[in-house]
Each structure stands twice: as C-alpha cells, then as structure tokens.
Amino acid sequence: MTANGVGTVRGRVAVVTGAASGIGRATALLLARRGARVALGDVDAEGLRGVAEEIRAGGAGAACEVRVDVTLADDVDRFRGVVEKELGVADVIVNAAGVVVVGSFLATSPEDWDHVLGVNLRGPALVCRTFLPAMMKRREGGQIANVASAATFFTPSDLAAYGATKHGLLGLSQGLREELAPWSIGVSLVCPGFVDTPIVEHARFVGEADPEALRRRVRELVRRRGLRPERVAEAVVRALERGSKLVPVGIEARVLRALERYAPGASAHLAKAVRRVVFRR
C-alpha cells in the first residue's frame, strides 16, 4: 500500500462517516461489496442499523455501526475504540458527513456557522486526528477521502457558510497530504456537483420568507439535475484505490473547475443563472 492509493479495498478496514444516507451510505455499501470491512458512523442510529443489516444480509463483508457525532471529540474517540476492537486499525477513512446552510451571509447566524463548520470541517479534522495515530504507527500506509463539493471551485451567494467549509476542506486535504506523505498515507478530495440525497431535507434555509417553498425548488432541481449518490461512491472508491488528489464528479463540478482555471470570473455568470432559477431573484 502506498500514497498512490490502496490498490484494492478488499480486506481493508474502511471508516465511513455520514454512512446512514446519501453519499456515505452508497460508499459504505460499495466498499462492502468490494470486500472491505466497513465501520459505519452517523448521528442517525436507525439509518446506520439499516445499512449494516443490508451489508450483512448481502454477505459482502464485516461491518460495525456506531452512532457518532463527528463534532464531538469524545464521540469520535469512542468510535475509534469500537472500530479497532471489532475490525482493527483503519486502512481507509471516508469523511462523507455533511450539512448545508442556505441563506445570505448576514442572515446566517453564529449558530448556523457553528453547525456547518462543526460537521463539514471540524468533523473531518477530528476523525483524521483520532484515527491517524494508529495508522501512522503501523507504517503500512493508508488513504483518506474527504467528500467536498463543486462549491470548492466556486461559491455563489447564499452559500457562503457552506462554501467556506468546502474551501477549508480543500486546505485541510492539501496540508494533510504533504504531512502524511512520509507515512505513505494519501489524501483525496472528491468534489461532486448536485447530488440527489436527503441532505436537502435536512438543510437550513435562513432569511427566507417562505423557506419550504425554496426547499421544494431546490429538491426539484437536484431531483432533475442531480447525480445519483452511487455514482459519487464509485468516484470515492476509485480515488481510494488510485490515490487521486482532486476528483470533480458531474458536469457542474467539471465545468466550474475548468472555468476557474481557464476563465476566472465566468463562474459568477453561471451561478447567477442558477440563482435566478432557484431563488427567483
């Protein structure tokens, strides 16, 4: 195993956060089908049980599930203890837990900022900080995949808090990649565009006269335009196996990345067009 990827996930111990639904769920199921031993973490205990039962029923591989709040250091440490006891030292970490706050910068309260920063940025940092020491001590390499967003390449208005966390996740991934290279531990950043997951149902819409109407429009947009989480899961597992550094997934992510590299400023025009459709202003 090298920093160029784990080669195959078969037989590896893979820790997945946000595993009860969406991208985390799809990634956990795919890892299990590929023969990984999967540790599932999420705040949704009932959803976790369903995923674990699906893995075991399919006979694809070992799994353990732990209800964990990735914003709490004690919770994450307890998660690590269960994983190492039941499955062993982690070979792979997938940080897929995420939340969204939609609203103007001034409408986004300090509590909203704490919420999105806690889950989207503090969470991955805590998970890595907690699981990495044993992985480094073992000196057999490993791989981390952080799930970000197309907002990594360009953040439109009304997504300042969310976009800030995804840009932060880019910085975290870059810094970790350099620091962990001597231990042959690689770090991938996977950046999908619109993905059809339950995240919209749990999103906070702030500063809106009719937040539920906006939620319905966003839900319809991702339903029509969104990627299936299974496609993102395939990109995540491929990044783990190959050690890819930056992986845009979907047309929105690829276009935004290209625009920001070759036509700076053009992304703003695209964002305004989407905003007119969704926000109707």
Catalytic residues, which ones? 162
- Exposure b/e, 5-29, CB count within 10 A at least 16 = b: bbeebeebbbbbbbbbbbbbbbbbb
What do you get for the CA distance between the two ends of the chain, in Å?
A: 51
**C-alpha to C-alpha distance for 4 and 186, rounded to whole angstroms:** 7
The answer to whether residues 125 and 172 touch, using CB atoms and an 8 Å cutoff, is yes
The answer to whether residues 167 and 228 touch, using CB atoms and an 8 Å cutoff, is no
One DSSP character per residue, 165-204 reads HHHHHHHHHHHHHHHHGGGTEEEEEEEESSB-STHHHH-E
Helix and strand numbers (H, E) in the chain are 11, 9
State whether residue 243 is helix, strand or coil: coil
Query: From the centroid of its chain, how far is CA 127?
Result: 12
